Amino acid sequence: MLDSQLEELRRATLAAFASAGSLEQLEEVRIEALGRKGTLAQISKEFGKLQPEDRARLGKLLNAVKQDLETAYDDKKRRFEQAQLTERLAREWIDVTLPSPGVRSGSLHPITQLQNEIEDLFSSLGFAILYGPEVETEEHNFDALNIPPTHPARDMQDTFWLSDGNLLRTHTSPVQVRGMRTLGPPLRMIAPGRVFRNEEVDASHEHTFYQLEGMMVDREVSVANLIYFMKTLLSAIFKRDVTVRLRPGYFPFVEPGFELDIHCLICDGAGCAVCKYSGWVELLPCGLVHPNVLRASDIDPDEWGGFAFGLGLTRLAMMRYGIDDIRQLQGGDLRFLCQF
């Protein structure tokens, strides 16, 4: 009787192990068959009623059934665990040689990229790269550049004055003054940096923007030298021929002074908000250095001459990359900046 019960337990339990669809189901079958209160434990309680010779024979069978069931359970459990591990590895696998997920590499701001290119260009032409403070003195920002006290540039509408009498520089030209006084002639230099104007913000004007000043002081410097360097600069930046025009302009620190305009690359001259619907963008105010500017830096204008120019890095970036609103460049929108 007991031997048939043991064989039936073995058959039914092995079949149940084989059909179990999860570790939980497998564990339920094991407890029902092999647990302390399971079927096998109940059968073993009947051994006390058996004759010694039957007890020995059935004991061997009981141990064989128990061993078969435990082996089958362990094998099935191992397969479940291996399948779970494989699934987890497939789900959580990561290639440690790849960049960390969710972290994207940064890039340089378009103005910084452009500034670096211009610095490389002028360095190859023998120009030094100089920097100066953004908080300037009135003497460096105006007086030494031949800008008299009555000039409109000193008006509060253009200049951010500070309570101590200093100001936020309105151009990078003060670096030219510092360069002439520190290095003396002959001199080739450019001065990139951030400048500030108390202006109303619109598509083509910002209160904070970037300029790059350039200067060459030497003997026998002429307008021809100025035009050569300006054409070299523009062809290097835009990687193509651009239409420019040179017209008279007045700036206190140069004489004669010129405005170098570039054909608007946003609208191709048709007229837009960037070029104020004129088809042209003011890009390079320039001219020969005024004798008074040279004298203010203890340079004899009878012996030395020079040219100077001021380049709007922000507007140049707009022309190069086809940006139609200057406010995007400092808006902090990563969707915009990631394009560069």
Rounded average pLDDT over 315-340: 81
Give the per-residue pLDDT at 81: 87
Mean confidence (pLDDT) of the chain: 84
In 3-state terms, what secondary structure has residue 312?
A: strand
Domain boundary among 92, 127, 158: 92
Separation between Cα atoms, residue 94 and residue 137, nearest integer Å: 57
Give the per-residue pLDDT at 273: 77
Calculate what percentage of the chain has a pLDDT beyond 70: 94
| 103 part of a folded domain | no
Q: Is 92 exposed, middle or buried (0-12, 13-18, 19+ CB in 10 A)?
A: exposed
Give the per-residue pLDDT at 335: 81
| 321 part of a folded domain | yes
Give the per-residue pLDDT at 48: 65
204 plus 318 within the same structural domain: yes
Per-residue burial over 267-297, b = 16 or more CB atoms within 10 Å of its CB, e = otherwise: beeeebebbeeebbbbbbbbbbbbbebbebb
Q: How far is CA 42 from CA 89, 327, 337, in A?
A: 42, 85, 76
What pLDDT digit, counting tens, does each position of 238-258 carry? 777 777 788 888 888 998 999
29 plus 129 within the same structural domain: no
Give the per-residue pLDDT at 215: 94
pLDDT of 1 higher than 70: no
25 plus 126 within the same structural domain: no
185 plus 40 within the same structural domain: no
**pLDDT band at 141; cut points 50, 70, 90:** very high
| 217 part of a folded domain | yes
216 plus 151 within the same structural domain: yes
Count of domains forming the chain: 2
275 plus 136 within the same structural domain: yes
Separation between Cα atoms, residue 58 and residue 312, nearest integer Å: 101
Helices (H), the chain: 2-19, 23-34, 39-44, 52-92, 110-124, 138-141, 173-183, 223-238, 291-296, 313-321, 334-337
| 98 part of a folded domain | no
Q: Which domain holds residue 34?
A: 2-92
Q: Which of 223, 208, 217 is nearest to 300 (CA)?
A: 217
pLDDT of 144 higher than 60: yes
Give the per-residue pLDDT at 268: 74
88 plus 115 within the same structural domain: no
pLDDT of 180 higher than 80: yes
**pLDDT band at 60; cut points 50, 70, 90:** confident
145 plus 217 within the same structural domain: yes
273 plus 219 within the same structural domain: yes
pLDDT of 45 higher than 80: no
Domain boundary among 92, 119, 143: 92
| 105 part of a folded domain | no
201 plus 259 within the same structural domain: yes
CA angle in degrees (0–180, nearest 5) for 71-77-81: 145
The two structure tokens encoding residue 49: 């009623």
